[in-house]
C-alpha cells in the first residue's frame, strides 16, 4: 500500500492520468522521437497481456532483438537511451493511438495491439492498484469500478483506448490480437504474428515457442528474473512479481455483483455502440 499522496503518484497529461514515472517532459517530447522502419510496437491497455505477448514475440526472432521498457516510462534521458540501441527494437507502450509518436505512424512501423475483455481487465487492474506502491490506494472494488468506468485510472478510459486503435483496424501495419484467443489457441496466434512480422518459422518451432510461453511457464520465468527491474514492459511498475496474477478468462464473475454487471454493460453498450470489433471480446470460455 502506498504512503505517498495521489498528487505525488499521478499527473494528468492531455486529460489522461499517468504515473509520475512517466515525466511530463518525456510525454511532451515524444513526437520528436525518431522511430526506425524496423521498430515493432507492442501496444496494450494495462493488464491486457503485454508481458505474455512480449515473451512470445522475442522468442520468434533468431537474430538479436532488444525488448525496451515502455516508450513513455522515464524522463528525458529515455529518448537518448532508445536512440543508442543498435539492434532491432521491440517497444512496448500503453499510449492510445492519438498520443503515439508521429514518426511511428509516418514510417508505417509494425504495431501489434492486444486487448482483453474489459471486465477481466478492470479486475486485474484493481488488484494491481492494491499491490502497487506506484499507484494511489483504492479501498474497495466498488470504488475502483466507478473510477474504471469513468476512465479516471492510469492510461485513461479503456473504451477510448480501444476505440482510438480500432479506428486504424484496416491499416496494413497494425495487427489486432485478443488475449482470450491467445489463451484458447496460442499456436494459431503465434503463426499469425510470425506472418505479420515476416518471420518464417516451422510448425515444430511454433509448438516449442508455445510450450515455453504458457502462462505458468512465463510467470515462473518472470519471478525468477524479478531482480532485474530494467526488464519490465509495463509502465506502471518494475516489480515483476506484480505482472502475472491469474491470467484466467472470466475471473470478473468472482468480483462483479449482478448490479455492477448491469452498470458495466450499460456503459459498454453506450460507449461501444459504433465499434465493430467489440463483438469479438470473449468474457468466458
Q: 86-110 pLDDT, tens per residue?
A: 879 999 999 999 999 999 999 999 9
Please tell me the distance from the alpha carbon of residue 106 to that of residue 175, in angstroms, as a whole number: 17
pLDDT above 90: percentage of residues in the chain: 74
Q: What count of residues does the chain have? A: 285
Average pLDDT over residues 119-132: 92
Active site positions, annotated: 94
Contact of 72 with 23, CB cutoff 8 Å: no
CATH superfamily of 10-280: P-loop containing nucleotide triphosphate hydrolases (3.40.50.300)
Return the beta strands (E) in the chain as ranges: 10-13, 16-19, 40-44, 65-67, 88-93, 110-115, 174-178
**CB-based contacts of 220, cutoff 8 Å, min separation 6:** none
> Does residue 181 carry a pLDDT above 60?
yes
| Whether pLDDT at 232 is above 80 | no
* In the chain, % of residues over pLDDT 70: 88
Q: Is 47 exposed, middle or buried (0-12, 13-18, 19+ CB in 10 A)?
A: buried
Q: Which pLDDT does position 133 carry in this prediction?
A: 84
Position 191 confidence tier, pLDDT thresholds 50, 70, 90: very high
Describe the chain by its helix, strand, coil percentages, rounded to 5: 50, 15, 40
For residue 248, what pLDDT is reported?
80
Q: 148 vs 228, which has greater pLDDT?
A: 148
pLDDT in tens, 213-230: 876 777 676 666 554 545
Amino acid at each position: 500500500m502506498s504512503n505517498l499522496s495521489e498528487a505525488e503518484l499521478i499527473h494528468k497529461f492531455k486529460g489522461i492520468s499517468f504515473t509520475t514515472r512517466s515525466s511530463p517532459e518525456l510525454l511532451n517530447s515524444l513526437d520528436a522521437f525518431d522511430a526506425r522502419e524496423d521498430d515493432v510496437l507492442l501496444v496494450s491497455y494495462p493488464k491486457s497481456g503485454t508481458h505474455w505477448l512480449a515473451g512470445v514475440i522475442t522468442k520468434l526472432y533468431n537474430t538479436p532483438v532488444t525488448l525496451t521498457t515502455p516508450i513513455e516510462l522515464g524522463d528525458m534521458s529515455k529518448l537518448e537511451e532508445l536512440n543508442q540501441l543498435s539492434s532491432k527494437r521491440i517497444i512496448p507502450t500503453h499510449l492510445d493511438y492519438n498520443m503515439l509518436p508521429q514518426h511511428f505512424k509516418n514510417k508505417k512501423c509494425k504495431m501489434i495491439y492486444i486487448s482483453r475483455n474489459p471486465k477481466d481487465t478492470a479486475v486485474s487492474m484493481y488488484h494491481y492498484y492494491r499491490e502497487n506502491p506506484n499507484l494511489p490506494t483504492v479501498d474497495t472494488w466498488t470504488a475502483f469500478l466507478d473510477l474504471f468506468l469513468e476512465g479516471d485510472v492510469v492510461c485513461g478510459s479503456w473504451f477510448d483506448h480501444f476505440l482510438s486503435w480500432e479506428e486504424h483496424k484496416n491499416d496494413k501495419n497494425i495487427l489486432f490480437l485478443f488475449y482470450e484467443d491467445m489463451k484458447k489457441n496460442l499456436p494459431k496466434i503465434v503463426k499469425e504474428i510470425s506472418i505479420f512480422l515476416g518471420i518464417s518459422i516451422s510448425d515444430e518451432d511454433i509448438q516449442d515457442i508455445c510450450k515455453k510461453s504458457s502462462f505458468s511457464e512465463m510467470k515462473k520465468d518472470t519471478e525468477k528474473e524479478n531482480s532485474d527491474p530494467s526488464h519490465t514492459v509495463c509502465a506502471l511498475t518494475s516489480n515483476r512479481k506484480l505482472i502475472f496474477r491469474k491470467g484466467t478468462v472470466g475471473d470478473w464473475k468472482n468480483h462483479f455483483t449482478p448490479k455492477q454487471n448491469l452498470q458495466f454493460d450499460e456503459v459498454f453498450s453506450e460507449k461501444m455502440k459504433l465499434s465493430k470489433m467489440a463483438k469479438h471480446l470473449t468474457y468466458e470460455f
